Amino acid sequence: MASQRHRSGKIGPKKTHPGLPGPKTMDLVDIFIFLLDSRIPETSLDLAEPYLRKERRVYVMTKPDLADVEITAKWVEYFRDAGMPCFLVEAHTGKGLSSLIEYLNKNKQEIQKKSSGKFLSRPLRIMLFGLPNVGKSSLANRLLGTSKAPFGAKPGLTRGSRWLRADDSVEILDTPGVIDTSQVKDDVLYKLAATWAVPEKQYDAEEAAFWLAKEVFDPEYPGKLISDFGLSRGMLGPGGIVDIDRASRAFIHEFRTGNLGRFSLETPPNA
């Protein structure tokens, strides 16, 4: 499981990705910020872990406002018990950002002390990493106080790695979301679909909605739940029959935006 793999292993990425920088650029990074969707932390680790170094790592759990409060708190406790700094940040609003910034400033001061005054004016170099649509570019803009990084409610908007800098305090290496779609299927695919980490063309909306309804809301009658959902919103086709495809897409969208409530799809080990 990813929750076990992140504690041990060789330092350095196990795989390479065309969207990521080479080793020399990676060596310039002071802190690696690993962004995890609060609803699927373990899946985030499973898919992105092989590409990220294990040294100088900080976890930032994004979209906590969409996840179960108690389960999210257990995830934070889990990471911190493992000796890994972990912060909750709503990238689109900035809530929770102050604690992360305080941590980064403290690390910058420590780096400056170790440099013996040689690089006091050098900005803190940060690399952001995580699945598509997890909030990397939004967090970059928050940390920079600018809008240099492209972002939006669509996975895969960032196309390549690049350095972003607004002043002399911080420099951010923004990276594209990395996901091996050839190995993603079944439950993992549906979790990514529910959190908008894969394009809609990569999954069947009816299958994903059925899985989501069964796992989260009604394990006995998930199909009826989706049908009733579509009926309540007037999503009818010819003959007054519910358009299941349309209802399925709307159901997934409502889950993504939190309109159906705050839900976590994964819990930490031993929780």
Going along the chain from its start, the domains and CATH numbers come out as: 2-179 (3.40.50.300), 182-256 (1.10.1580.10)
Q: Give pTM, 2 decimals.
A: 0.84
More reliable by pLDDT, 29 or 48: 29
More reliable by pLDDT, 177 or 230: 230
DSSP per-residue string spanning 209-257: HHHHIIIII-SS-HHHHHHHHHHHTT-B-GGG-B-HHHHHHHHHHHHHT
pLDDT, residue 117, reads 56
Confidence of residue 153 (pLDDT cuts 50, 70, 90): very low
Distance of CA 256 to the CA centre of its chain: 13
Q: What is the DSSP letter of 123?
A: P
CA distance 131 to 178: 6
What lies within 8 Å, CB to CB, of 56 at 6+ separation is 29, 30, 31, 32
CA distance 133 to 153: 7
Both tokens assigned to 45: 């680790």
Please say if the pLDDT value at position 56 is more than 90.
no
pLDDT, residue 16, reads 58
Overall average pLDDT of the 233-239 stretch: 94
CA distance 200 to 205: 8
In the chain, the percentage of residues whose pLDDT exceeds 70 is: 80
pLDDT, residue 131, reads 85
